Amino acid sequence: MCGIVGYVGQRSALDVVMGGLRRLEYRGYDSGGVALVVDGTIHSAKKAGKLLNLDAELAENPLPVAHTGIGHTRWATHGAPNDVNAHPHLDETGRVAVVHNGIIENFAVLRTELERAGHDLLSETDTEVVAHLLHDELARTPDLSDAVRAVCRRLEGAFTLVICDAEQPDVVVGARRNSPLVVGRGDGENFLGSDVAAFIEHTRDAVELGQDQVVTITPDAIVVTDFFGAPAETTEYHVDWDVSAAEKGGYEWFMLKEMDEQPQAVADTLLGRHSPGGQLQLDEMRLSDDELREVDRIVIIACGTASYAGLVAKYAIEHWTRIPCEVELASEFRYRDPILDKSTLVVAISQSGETMDTLMAIRYARQQRARVLSICNTNGSTIPRESDAVIYTHAGPEVAVASTKGFLSQVVACYLLALYLAQVKGTKYGDEIDDILAEIAAVPAGIQRLLDEGDQVRKLASDLSGARSILFLGRHVGYPVALEGALKLKELAYIHAEGFAAGELKHGPIALVEEGLPVFVVVPPKGRDQLQEKTVSSIQEIRARGARTIVLAEDGDDDVIPYADHLIRLPKVPTLLQPLVATVPLQIFATEFAHQLGHDVDQPRNLAKSVTVE
Ligand code: AGP
């Protein structure tokens, strides 16, 4: 949700800023812009649409060489995605330039105040008020950092701001409340970015910023304070991946690369969690075993794909630990006055660690004295920082807007959490936990097989690319897989796609079935619970009504053959682990379907990778 870059140093600021924006474009791609400080003047360029448009603008109207600059790639909130609303926004004298991520909730009041005082605001954005407030503040307080602190004290809502000043050429100031901002420490140069991808090409040494902090970077210094100017403590860390992980590496899209990285992401998420003595260890678990033994209820909160990982977790947690578990959309959670206390463990799942709905939900949970554990893929991000414990998924950076390896590694982390709780609570013996871990460790080979067999799914996607509606059915943990398959298709192909619990079909959705409607059905492995048989019955029911059935069933399940118009074989895995394999063909299908329609696979319309507004 908007990518922000700032730079001071010896290099061409434009090159650094544009390079950073390209790596952050997944965060938003409605418009892009840059501002450079040269000889006491700010030079800026901005353009609606993807960064390619800004590149063209810069080629036509080049900016002078500069060593201080800021940049922005936007996901529009206030104001249409056009040139005028694109960031940076300048004050009327052109002294300061501001880029912003978030929503300034009191901007209407501030705008009215500024207009009454004679300011002329050009855009429809909430951001522009900051440039004008800074103009007034700099008349009283010549130091940019002081002026930024004074303005931040007046702002409400969520904001990351990065600002440069024509009169202070070697300084860039950033501020953050509720939205992400990290500092990159260089040698004779320093960087600001919405995430480390912005500067990973130049440095892997990063500084975390806390809530309500202002950072001032010059070529040789990084100074962090609170909004009142008091020095603030910061945490430095070294990023454990490099620039190659943030690049396409020969793939046409990041999404294809990230799908192919899934066997590794699953294996890496398991790595180092199981000691030779058989005890499961979660290093980032800052809750004691005694505290975990007190847990009598688990509430999982997450959004989108992460919430489907949470649905899978519910089955595993309740089955392995017997602790009641519910799953709730983070955006709904705090508005229903949930009943929480210190024996409730709230589990927040977030790939980015910055999703505002999830962040607000965990803050609410902590106010209610619940303990919060997060499952996250982004070291140093806000959600794990504000949690009592964290399990990191080691999937590496996920750039494509549609989550793939993020999801599978979240599911693995959920299994690890469930098994850890089972170990602590004594609901599973050590050798049972060992067996399950060995089964999970075997899954990457199955995922690899499905990736290798992707051509048959791509052919199917090409055959079906004229479809305007596709349904997905599953039962048990196959139900979240169905939801995920439908979400992937909606995100990438922009067609009607819906996931249903197969047993629920007869209670209404079967009315949607008509001649030729493609319906994917995830069939559970055969077991004592008769779910496989019941799912096969559902397939017969929809086929009898004209559906074109695409059946995902494990190797050796021949019961499905007579009713499958198209059969996708899944490697045999235990029922609870089936999402790790069944999701993969659905990802391949959505990717190819979107490609057939000519859509941008990595950057689908209207979306952004990390949603940092509520
Ligand atoms: C996944 O394909 C989506 N782009 C989206 O649903 C995403 O999973 C959701 O916004 C949550 O993001 P998070 O994991 O970063 O919190």
- Identify residue 603 by its one-letter amino acid code: Q
Q: Is the CB of 303 under 6 A from ligand 1?
A: yes
Ligand 1 centre and the CA of 531: distance in Å?
A: 29
Q: Is the CB of 610 under 6 A from ligand 1?
A: yes
Nearest protein CA to atom 8 of ligand 1, as residue = 305
- Identify residue 106 by its one-letter amino acid code: N
Q: Note the pLDDT of residue 178.
A: 83
Q: Note the pLDDT of residue 436.
A: 94
Ligand 1 centre and the CA of 540: distance in Å?
A: 34
Q: What is the pLDDT of residues 394-430, one digit of tens each?
A: 898 899 999 999 999 999 999 999 999 999 999 998 8
Q: What is the pLDDT of residues 498-550, one digit of tens each?
A: 999 999 999 999 999 999 999 999 999 998 789 999 999 999 999 999 999 99
Give mean pLDDT, residues 451-462: 97
Alpha-carbon distance 112 to 127, whole Å? 14
Query: What residues act catalytically?
Result: 2, 609
Q: Which two tokens stand for residue 155?
A: 């702002």
Q: What is the pLDDT of residues 497-508, one digit of tens each?
A: 999 999 999 999
* Residue of 288, 294, 388 whose CA lies nearest to 342: 294
DSSP three-state, residue 166:
coil
Alpha-carbon distance 70 to 88, whole Å? 8
Q: How confident is the model at residue 196 (pLDDT cuts 50, 70, 90)?
A: very high
Q: Is the CB of 611 under 6 A from ligand 1?
A: yes
Ligand 1 centre and the CA of 358: distance in Å?
A: 11
Name residues whose C-beta falls within 8 Å of residue 189's C-beta, 6 or more positions apart in sequence.
7, 8, 9, 10, 11, 202, 219
Ligand 1 centre and the CA of 604: distance in Å?
A: 13
CA dist list (Å): 127 to 88, 98, 182: 9, 8, 20
State the residue for tokens 């800004």.
54
Inter-axis angle of helices 454-463 and 578-596, nearest 10:
50
Res. 278: pLDDT tops 70: no
Alpha-carbon distance 136 to 208, whole Å? 30
Q: What is the pLDDT of residues 339-375, one digit of tens each?
A: 999 999 999 999 999 999 999 999 999 999 999 999 9
Do 254-450 and 454-596 come out as alike in CATH topology? yes
Nearest protein CA to atom 11 of ligand 1, as residue = 303
Q: Give Cα 541 distance to the centre of its chain.
A: 38
Q: How confident is the model at residue 273 (pLDDT cuts 50, 70, 90)?
A: confident
Residue 120 φ/ψ, nearest 5 degrees: -115, 105
Determine contact, residues 133/110, Cβ cutoff 8 Å.
yes
Nearest ligand 1 atom, CA 404: 2
Name residues whose C-beta falls within 8 Å of residue 558's C-beta, 6 or more positions apart in sequence.
none
Q: Is the CB of 351 under 6 A from ligand 1?
A: yes
Q: Note the pLDDT of residue 276.
A: 63
The CATH superfamily holding the domain 454-596 is Glucose-6-phosphate isomerase like protein; domain 1 (3.40.50.10490)
Q: Note the pLDDT of residue 103.
A: 86
Nearest ligand 1 atom, CA 401: 4
Q: Which of 1, 352, 358, 360 has the most ligand 1 atoms within 8 A of CB, as the residue to mutate?
A: 352
Alpha-carbon distance 360 to 116, whole Å? 34
Q: How confident is the model at residue 19 (pLDDT cuts 50, 70, 90)?
A: very high
Domain 254-450 = CATH 3.40.50.10490: yes
Q: What is the pLDDT of residues 570-579, one digit of tens each?
A: 999 999 999 9
Alpha-carbon distance 486 to 470, whole Å? 8
Q: How confident is the model at residue 242 (pLDDT cuts 50, 70, 90)?
A: confident
Q: Give Cα 156 distance to the centre of its chain.
A: 24
Q: What is the pLDDT of residues 201-212, one digit of tens each?
A: 999 999 999 899
Q: Write the DSSP string, 56-114.
A: HHHHHSPPPP-SEEEEEEE--SSS-SSTTTSSPEE-TTS-EEEEEEEEETTHHHHHHHH
Q: Tell whether the torsion through CA atoms of 390, 393, 396 and 401 is positive or negative.
A: negative
Determine contact, residues 509/521, Cβ cutoff 8 Å.
no
Give mean pLDDT, residues 173-189: 94
Inter-axis angle of helices 478-493 and 578-596, nearest 10:
20
Res. 613: pLDDT tops 90: no
Q: What is the pLDDT of residues 468-492, one digit of tens each?
A: 999 999 999 999 999 999 999 999 9
Q: Note the pLDDT of residue 243.
A: 80
- Identify residue 146 by its one-letter amino acid code: D
Q: Is the CB of 433 under 6 A from ligand 1?
A: no
Ligand 1 centre and the CA of 380: distance in Å?
A: 18
- Identify residue 413 by its one-letter amino acid code: A
* Residue of 187, 154, 155, 190 whose CA lies nearest to 171: 190
Ligand 1 centre and the CA of 308: distance in Å?
A: 10
Q: What is the average pLDDT score of the chain?
A: 94
Nearest ligand 1 atom, CA 609: 4
Q: Is 426 left (phi over 0), alpha (psi -120 to 50) or beta?
A: left
> Distance from first CA to last CA of the chain, Å, rounded?
11
Q: Which of 386, 403, 606, 613 has the most ligand 1 atoms within 8 A of CB, as the residue to mutate?
A: 403
* Residue of 368, 388, 429 whose CA lies nearest to 291: 388
DSSP structure class, residue 526:
P
* Residue of 95, 166, 84 whose CA lies nearest to 127: 84
The CATH superfamily holding the domain 3-246 is Aminohydrolase, N-terminal nucleophile (Ntn) domain (3.60.20.10)
State the residue for tokens 């978030």.
102
Res. 596: pLDDT tops 90: yes
Res. 277: pLDDT tops 80: no
Res. 308: pLDDT tops 90: yes
Q: What is the pLDDT of residues 130-172, one digit of tens each?
A: 999 999 999 999 999 999 999 999 999 889 999 999 999 999 9
**Global confidence as pTM:** 0.83
Q: Which two tokens stand for residue 213?
A: 């902090």
Number of C-beta neighbours around residue 232 at 10 A = 17
Bridge partners of 315, per DSSP, are: none
Per-domain residue ranges for the chain?
A: 3-246, 254-450, 454-596
Q: Is the CB of 331 under 6 A from ligand 1?
A: no
Q: Tell whether the torsion through CA atoms of 491, 256, 26 and 183 is positive or negative.
A: positive
Q: What is the pLDDT of residues 167-179, one digit of tens each?
A: 999 999 999 998 8
DSSP three-state, residue 38:
strand
HEC per residue, 533-554: HHHHHHHHHHHHCCCEEEEEEE
Of all residues in the chain, the percent with pLDDT exceeding 70 is 99
Nearest protein CA to atom 6 of ligand 1, as residue = 304
Q: How confident is the model at residue 267 (pLDDT cuts 50, 70, 90)?
A: very high
Res. 246: pLDDT tops 80: no
Ligand 1 centre and the CA of 610: distance in Å?
A: 7
Q: Is the CB of 491 under 6 A from ligand 1?
A: yes
